[in-house]
Structure 1
Amino acid sequence: MLLRRIKREALKLVDGIKLVDFGFALPYTWVLVEGERKRALGVAMTLPEEVQRYTNSIGEPSVEKFIEHVDSLNVIERTLGLAAINAVSQYYVDLSNADNVDVLELLPQDAGKVALIGNMPPLAKELRERGYELYIFERNPKLWDRETLSDVLEYHLLPEMNVVIASASCLVNGTVDMLIDRARNVKLFVLTGPTGQLLPDFLSGTRVTHLASMKVVDIEKALFGLKLGSFRGFDEGNMKYVVEVK
């Protein structure tokens, strides 16, 4: 299970990093950490449709406790755990070789069949306008439209795809292993969105080729947006980046 591997690697990096604050909230769950050098903010998409009845089994919160529960069966613990891993990742990440480009710039014109995991309308619109053969998969029926496929079809159709652009919320809902396994013929596999703030090394050796995410450069502004439940307010404190997984 990929999350267990990521958990093991992240726990090796938590010495000297303490929990400052956190929130299980909409649209993103967030964890703020601090070490000797700086503070770092990690987020993970909150999936309200997946939230179950919950009794706290974490106990006294800490960076380590959150990360230890990232492979929990409960989505609240998985989300907090991934946000904590992302915070630790952002504390250490080196973006000197990252590209400040849009994820679409990674796709060649002859990309073939492109799978979009998670209905992201602006991205879908641009992919269609550029003429790509696009297949959109979505789990949440509230986000379906007439051109959206149920995510149950991912298992059958992903082996035919040449490119996968997946919302990194697949790490939260537990489908990432299946996506990587079934996308056996891809040339390009991109995890995209704020939830993909992971250290690229955590994904080495998988089929994931790129992370397209956000670096929080103004923590106070981003936190203010998060506490107000604002996508736009959070985005204003960030810098988009694309980094290759080697």
Structure 2
Amino acid sequence: MTILQKLAEKILEYSEGFKVIDYCACLRATYVIVEDKEERRFLGMSHIAHENLHNQGKIIAPNVDNLTELTSSINIINRSFGLSLINAISQKFIKPTQEFPEIRDPVCIVGNMKPLVKEFSNRKVYVFEKSTELRDDALSDAEEELLLQECKTVFITGVTLLNFTLERILEISKGTNILIGPSASIIPDLMRDFNIHYIQSMIFNDVDKIRDHLRLGNFVSLKINKELGVNFSAKVNRSFA
């Protein structure tokens, strides 16, 4: 079972009273908006890995009852809806903590997140990118097998949940693993047992504002789009069961 599938099962413990009221597969990302019993709205999103798009498998409308079906689908749009729904439910329960890891070199960044890469320009850093569209000067993901084991600090884009590359990254990484980005807006404790040490993402404080931003075909960056919400960094409580 993939980590994404396991997260879908775990989030169901928090899902009572939620219903999906809006969703979209936009140009750069999917989003799902849920409403709880008190009619409070929460939005979760997931960037779309365009290199993994294909026409196989029927795309279905997301709801809480079909979450496990979404996260097990062969179509990445469904999986993206599933991750967005996990993130939407999580939004209610995430606290705006500011718990930051110690940054040690070498730094690995999985996913060419340019504002983050720029932040570490004065350090020894390896950047990996699966998409040829987004790669620029980054290494391909193939070189992760050679270099990840050297890295003491590993930033991993949440999109790795969708293309099932996260599992291998966590298997070979020997550093502090930080799942980062708006696609990683997950209740931190749900990441126990997966070798994830920190979650860094965003709590969206204006559902309509982020919805309209995504509908226009935009990406969301924790470094650039601070007006869309509150960034948080949370240590994952470890489980040794």
Cα distance in 1 for residues equivalent to 2:115 and 2:214 = 21
Does the residue aligned with 2:71 lie in a helix, a strand or coil? coil
- 5+ long unaligned stretches in structure 1: none
- Is the contact between residue 4 and residue 162 of structure 2 (CA under 8 Å) also seen in structure 1? no
| TM-score, normalised relative to structure 2 | 0.88
- Deviating beyond 4 angstroms after TM superposition, the runs of 4 or more aligned structure 1 residues are 232-235
Does the residue aligned with 1:208 lie in a helix, a strand or coil? coil
Q: Output aligned runs, 1:225-236, within 5 Å.
A: 225-231=213-219, 236=227
Q: Which amino acid aligns with 1:209?
A: H
Q: Output aligned runs, 1:73-112, within 5 Å.
A: 73-95=74-96, 98-99=97-98, 106-108=101-103, 111-112=104-105
Does the residue aligned with 1:214 lie in a helix, a strand or coil? strand
Q: Render the CA deviation track for 1:56-114: whole Å, top value 9, x for unaligned.
A: 364x642221343213222111101000111111122233xx01x8xxx6344xx1211
Q: Output aligned runs, 1:89-168, within 5 Å.
A: 89-95=90-96, 98-99=97-98, 106-108=101-103, 111-129=104-122, 132-146=123-137, 148-168=138-158
Cα distance in 1 for residues equivalent to 2:232 and 2:136 = 29
Identity over aligned residues, as a percent? Answer: 29
Q: 1:61 to 1:114 in 2, by over 3 A?
A: closer
**1:182 aligned onto 2:172:** yes
- 5+ long unaligned stretches in structure 2: none
- Is the contact between residue 213 and residue 242 of structure 1 (CA under 8 Å) also seen in structure 2? yes
Does the residue aligned with 1:92 lie in a helix, a strand or coil? coil
Q: Find the partner of 2:41 among 21, 39, 42.
A: 39
* Residue equivalent to 1:51: 53
Q: Find the partner of 1:212 among 192, 200, 203.
A: 200
Q: Render the CA deviation track for 1:118-154: whole Å, top value 9, x for unaligned.
A: 112222122022xx211111101122233x2110121
| TM-score, normalised relative to structure 1 | 0.87
Larger deviation, residues 67-76 vs 40-49: 67-76
Cα distance in 1 for residues equivalent to 2:46 and 2:59 = 20
